[in-house]
Structure 1
């Protein structure tokens, strides 16, 4: 498959997702994608990308993944003044990482770097770093500057390994994150929330958008026809289950 474009912000060229690529978002379960799909995102624990497609490796770089709290150095975890861990209010099984000092950021990079190497070894083309905007959920304890500093370090590791780096969500920070080195964006529900221009205004057509069936303020066909919607968009079920599971939904624009 021909892969369009190369990143311009890394030391060495990296392959970007094909413009007009048809995406599938498979974080909940990995399965053979529909024939028309050209871009597939999978969790790093899925190990193998979809054969013959542009592969994006999902990494939670700013919070712990469910079930992986014990694998993190204690110094990397954000704590309250009483020593208790700070959990994401929307994802109560994920603990926020502490980005406040260079030493703590280096500890985080040390852990995530191993995952990036796994993504490379598995054959992915890119890595997406989730929860960059975790700082917004800490009441000012964490800040954007430190999050961007960590993001810049993670992007550098990805580029050195030959992977493109995708900004995940955080539309309001797109310009700053692009300057930090990100090559493209993976956005969730930007059409539903009217945020797509925050990504396309920075990354042009190199934006992959995922909309969800349980949050459609207007018909998906109307979203597809809206020029503000990215050209690579898919409608999925919220749990991102496999086709054999109840609730599975996969739909692309005509």
Structure 2
């Protein structure tokens, strides 16, 4: 889960700018958004579980298995390290500050930014994440969503938007070659650029209603938008979010931890 943090840095950047096979395959991965028209989905990054009967699309982590019989999307943290995985990356692929320490996401300090500012770093990231993408395809997922595309906004100028766009385009190309749709995660301000320059097919948004970003996604991807709102940051009652003309039809309400139904904290409602 990530939230795009806007502000001066974002403004400056804008200026600078377990089934083995899926049961609902996408014949042309670039048409994946069409598969989401009328979808009801669940966001299960906290652990897979049996979806409700009305669910047609499920998002799970790349370490999980796809939901049998449903359209399945594979979550990949493509531009930052996962918690406790910093040591898995070679030093050339980790962004460091002037003191030589890893640059960390201020909102998620257990994640370090990957260094895509150099050809060597970009090559390592594309090769590593590319293998994850191909594994998602082998596992039976139908699409991937790439998180932290906007890591350049947290890099204090050490990474450029062009660096991010170049890597994103490479990853989208790998996904398409593997027969997978490719989804933009958050970063509403850059939706048009990511679609047109990197080739993304759909979007996964967190809290577009809470941050007044829904129209940016819908105007860019049409029906190809999956939106998650969270119980701890609802701008108004969820029923009102659902009737808002700007809200993507595929909008759900989840608990922040994305708990499983066995946890008392679990919440899932759907528009």
Cα distance in structure 2, aligned partners of 1:193 and 1:14: 26
1:110 is the counterpart of 2:122: no
Partner in structure 1 of residue 227 of structure 2: 209
Q: TM-score scaled by structure 1? A: 0.93
Runs of 4+ in 1 over 3 A off after TM superposition: 1-8, 13-17
Partner in structure 1 of residue 187 of structure 2: 170
Matches within 5 A, 1:2-17: 6-8=28-30, 16-17=34-35
Aligned match of 2:99 in 82, 99, 107?
82
Q: How many residues align?
A: 248
Q: Give the C-alpha shift of residue 178 in structure 1.
A: 0.2
Aligned match of 1:195 in 213, 220, 225?
213
Contact 2:252/2:268 (<8 A) preserved = yes
Q: TM-score scaled by structure 2? A: 0.88
Partner in structure 2 of residue 92 of structure 1: 109
Contact 2:217/2:225 (<8 A) preserved = yes
Contact 2:146/2:184 (<8 A) preserved = yes
1:246 is the counterpart of 2:264: yes
Contact 1:72/1:111 (<8 A) preserved = no
Contact 1:190/1:196 (<8 A) preserved = yes
Cα distance in structure 1, aligned partners of 2:160 and 2:150: 9
Note the residue ranges of structure 1 that are not aligned, 5 or more in a row: none
CA RMSD of aligned residues (A): 1.6
Cα distance in structure 2, aligned partners of 1:5 and 1:219: 38
Contact 1:214/1:238 (<8 A) preserved = yes
Note the residue ranges of structure 2 that are not aligned, 5 or more in a row: 1-22
Q: Describe the shift of the 1:183–1:234 C-alpha distance in structure 2 as closer, same or farther (beyond 3 A).
A: same
Q: Describe the shift of the 1:5–1:220 C-alpha distance in structure 2 as closer, same or farther (beyond 3 A).
A: farther
Partner in structure 1 of residue 15 of structure 2: none
Partner in structure 2 of residue 127 of structure 1: 144
Q: Give the C-alpha shift of residue 38 in structure 1.
A: 0.6
Q: Deviations over 1:127-153 (max 9, x none)?
A: 000000111112222221111111001
Q: Describe the shift of the 1:158–1:29 C-alpha distance in structure 2 as closer, same or farther (beyond 3 A).
A: same
Q: Give the C-alpha shift of residue 72 in structure 1.
A: 1.2
Q: Give the C-alpha shift of residue 17 in structure 1.
A: 3.4
Cα distance in structure 2, aligned partners of 1:197 and 1:144: 22
Q: Give the C-alpha shift of residue 33 in structure 1.
A: 0.7
Q: Describe the shift of the 1:161–1:100 C-alpha distance in structure 2 as closer, same or farther (beyond 3 A).
A: same
Q: Deviations over 1:179-216 (max 9, x none)?
A: 11100000000011110111111111110001100001
